Amino acid sequence: MKFSKQHSLYESEHTKFIAELKAKNPGIEEGQRVGRSLLWDKAPTPLAEQDRTAESRVRQQAYVYQNKL
């Protein structure tokens, strides 16, 4: 399905807004990369530490809200 040339030049309001925002604040993408690296880009944990973490977990009872009498 081909669109006419008229549709290929279309830019949504959201696309225009993002383009204007990036033009006003050129460092915004670098800030996003820094923020992402703080939250998501973590170094892999060693296997020994993964094993220790798994062993130190406390098992949760099947139904949390039921008290053992």
Q: What are phi and psi of 44, to 5 degrees?
A: -65, 140
Q: What is d(CA 48, CA 55) in angstroms, rounded to the nearest whole number?
A: 11
Task: Indicate whether 18 belongs to any domain.
Answer: yes
Task: Indicate whether 5 belongs to any domain.
Answer: no
Q: What is d(CA 24, CA 19) in angstroms, rounded to the nearest whole number?
A: 9
Is 22 in contact with 28 (CB distance < 8 Å)? yes
Host domain of residue 54: 11-69
Say if pTM beats, i.e. exceeds, 0.85: no
Task: Indicate whether 36 belongs to any domain.
Answer: yes
Task: Indicate whether 32 belongs to any domain.
Answer: yes
Per-residue model confidence as pLDDT tens digits over 10-66: 899 999 999 999 999 999 999 999 999 998 888 899 999 999 999 999 887 778 787
Q: How far is CA 55 from the centre of its chain?
A: 28
